[in-house]
Amino acid sequence: MKDASNREKIKIILSLGLPAMIENLLQTIVGFVDTLFVSKLGLNEVTAVGVTNAILAVYLAVFLAMGIGTSSLIAKSVGAGDLDKAKAIARQSSFISAILGIIFGVITFFFAQPLLQIMGAEPYVLASGVVYFRIVAVPSIFISLMTIFGSILRAAGDTKTPMKVGLWINLLHVILDYILIFGLAGLPGMGIAGAAWATVLVRLVGSVVLFMYIRKSKLSFPLKMSAGHHTLPLLQLSVPAVAERLIMRFGQVLYFGLIVRVGTEVYAAHTIAGNIEIFSYMPGYGLAVAATTLVGQYLGANRREDAYQFGLLTTGIAVIFMSFVGILLFVFSPVAATWFTDETNAIRMVTTALRIDAFAQPFLAIGLVLAGALQGAGDTKSPMYSTAIGMWLIRVVGVYVLSIHFNLGIAGVWLSIAIDLFVRAIYLFIQFRSKLTKGSMEQKNKHIASL
């Protein structure tokens, strides 16, 4: 695309970003429906699923990190017009992801109960938890393959196919969930095991369908697993991304523990606010996918200035989207809080949290999109550093100082989050500008010297 206008660039960004937004939204909604169905079985089952999902979040963090490394390398190869290299990277990343899925499956089979006990599962939750955990996580290969296949398609610039597949398998998930949990037309329900099997079947279908679409795409590769010389670059990009995800997950454990110290009511209000706020992430996540793809492809085509401009323009669009979300949060937070609780004090705390968060939405947008842009540029370390500083220093220290020392309660918690997002946005902007403009200046100097 030569000399495109800003209007044309915006169309390209939205054509990539909107399907990714819709896909994330669908997954979030289905997660709510899944929790709603399980809640009809009892609190023990809800707790079992919650504890299991906390462990699966670590598994998924590793698989998503592989997807980040894959997206960066494939996007650059596609941008450079080297489809053979892109296919080789896609094949090798699928091989590595399959191996990782098998490893996590074996770990789950042998250590399901000890892992749940480490997470604090009580004896009356453990029985249900082990059943659910083993069914869902032993076939982790389907989680890993579904994640990597989606990353491969998005890196090639196709975000619509993962969205369409996501739409159909999420609909299938809801139907299977209901039938397998509660039974239908004389078929007995399986309870929490039914919820687990519904998840596994959907992931199996999703993996097969996504691979079928890959086989029809320009990145088609045979399902022949083999290691090769792209393994090291993949790991060099993916390992910092894995570290970033794990830093975030383990930081949340400490961070949530401090919130519990502030008070049980505060923790409950914080959880409710987080469940509402999660929808605000959808525009940022979707546009981050667009930024990763476009920055990677334009850098691969050796057009650093265009890559830089696309990164900034995508960030600007995200700020507009999420500023609007911030307005909605500020205005409608009291109403949203009543969906989860009817206690006046809890509603007041949730409203306080979300109204603070409303002002932080533009910084959240900047952080999410520029992290994606940097990953597209092959820099997975800067997002890792920003997460480490934000989660372990700003949030943890902020909650202790503001909420515990100065007794600001829920306001102190969410002010800490807002400060973290503000600092993270500035840091990632500086890193993005430095990484992409430095290369542009070097290219210009070489060009001038050659004249």
Q: Which residues neighbour 90 within 8 Å (Cβ) at sequence distance 6 or greater?
A: 70, 74, 152, 214, 219, 221
Asked if residues 141 and 223 have their Cβ atoms less than 8 Å apart, the reply is no
- CB-count exposure of residue 331 (10 Å: 0-12, 13-18, 19+): exposed
Predicted TM-score of the model (pTM): 0.82
Residues 47-63, mean pLDDT to the nearest whole number: 80
440 confidence band (pLDDT: 50, 70, 90): low
Residues 92-110, mean pLDDT to the nearest whole number: 92
Question: Which one-letter DSSP state was computed for residue 395?
Answer: I
Residues 238-263, mean pLDDT to the nearest whole number: 78
> How do residues 368-394 score in pLDDT, each as one tens digit?
999 999 998 989 899 999 988 988 889
Q: Given a cut of 50, is residue 363 above it in pLDDT? A: yes
Query: Higher pLDDT residue, 442 or 59?
Result: 59
Asked if residues 289 and 17 have their Cβ atoms less than 8 Å apart, the reply is yes
| CB-CB neighbours of 272 under 10 Å | 21
Q: Which residues neighbour 385 within 8 Å (Cβ) at sequence distance 6 or greater?
A: 427
Question: Which one-letter DSSP state was computed for residue 138?
Answer: T
